[in-house]
Structure 1
């Protein structure tokens, strides 16, 4: 969790700097949602890797793969999850995820579990 905080802090600074350089000033809610979305995507990707490695079918399938093949498919699946999962999150959840690590963990866990199996099936086909 500390590693995630070290990654998110500079990212939050960068995103807040980018958000304030436009011609119009974004509202605090919009900036919070952007930060929440970025933090959520990072957390979703990390959770996806963990969840994927805990799926028995994945463990069996990867025994016959090279490490490169495994990494490529894992990247494809978790990229899919990172793209699709935020579509299942409300603006309120994004704002909450930006400021509450406990809520972020719960939100991430829920959306990853909802989308990972669909993404695995897409990657297999």
Structure 2
């Protein structure tokens, strides 16, 4: 279980970096050839997802007593943000880019997997 905690903690920090990257893109920053339209609500949600995942990753890697619950809450919050983005793409006025579709799909799968793993381990430990 210690290895899974470290893995999920490290992945949380990686996911936070991905969210920070897309927050910058949606704020209007061009990263080399990659650019996305400015979408302020998306940048705000991605920044919040980044912040909570940093907290969860810290808790897991620092072996805090709340690490498993922290991983559950932070993965659930970030997954909620991704699902909100999927709905915005589906019902928004403009179709999203292939990059946004890929990003939302991969993050939803990764966060749901991490959430289920953290939830399972937290219940087994009790």
Same fold? TM cut 0.5: no
- Give 1 or 2: higher helix fraction: 1
TM-score, L = length of structure 2:
0.32
Q: Which has the larger radius of gyration?
A: 1
TM-score by length of 1: 0.32
